[in-house]
Amino acid sequence: MARSLLALGYVAAALCWLRASQQARLAPADAFARWWLLGAAVLLLLAVNKQFNLRAHFETGFRALMIAGSWYDHRQPMQFFLALVLPVVLAVSAGVFLAPRARVFVRGHPLALVGWLLLLLYQVLRQAQEWKPMLHWLDSLRYHDWRLALELAGMLLVALAAPIARAPLSVPQQT
């Protein structure tokens, strides 16, 4: 039930961002319509992930590959790579690529920035629990007590950023 409600929350946030994208297209200057659309797409992916628990399906697939490759008994280095290293590398790479292009958008929409950072933190911590040695550290932080609040806060801030967005008076050229 909670999973479905959270998925609906992501869909509602995505609809807010789609609406902001449509409004931005109608503005006289380029009012970041593409950024709103990209955010809506990411929110829809998060909704699908939340509803269908894609992580568990990927986990099952990787487990089958490890068993078939006869290295399931030595899986901890691969778990570390898939659970921590790969997502961090992908997030940093995306950040390096998007940061210069999104600078003006982020300055004009600080709620969106804080919300996305909270959602990223939630995703990183959620993914970190897949690497079993991390569980003790997460338990010491009482992660399971506040992870829902972290996800909800990020989702709400991201969703609220769209309706209160205002079109900039003048938008500098993005490089």
Supply φ then ψ for residue 92, to 5 degrees. Answer: -65, -40
What mean pLDDT do residues 124-140 have?
78
For residue 166, tell me if it sits in a domain.
Answer: no
For residue 104, tell me if it sits in a domain.
Answer: yes
Q: What is the pTM of this model?
A: 0.84
Residue 39: which domain range? 2-161
For residue 174, tell me if it sits in a domain.
Answer: no
For residue 101, tell me if it sits in a domain.
Answer: yes
For residue 167, tell me if it sits in a domain.
Answer: no
User: Could you tell me what percent of the chain has a pLDDT over 70?
Assistant: 90
Q: Could you give the number of structural domains in the chain?
A: 1
Check residue 143 and give its pLDDT.
Answer: 84
104 Cβ neighbours under 8 A, 6+ residues apart = 32, 168, 171, 172, 174
Q: Between 108 and 169, whose confidence is greater?
A: 108
For residue 110, tell me if it sits in a domain.
Answer: yes
What mean pLDDT do residues 121-148 have?
82
For tokens 């003006």, name the residue. Answer: 104
| Cβ–Cβ under 8 Å, residues 64 and 24 | no
For residue 168, tell me if it sits in a domain.
Answer: no
For residue 172, tell me if it sits in a domain.
Answer: no
Helix, strand or coil, per DSSP, at residue 171: coil
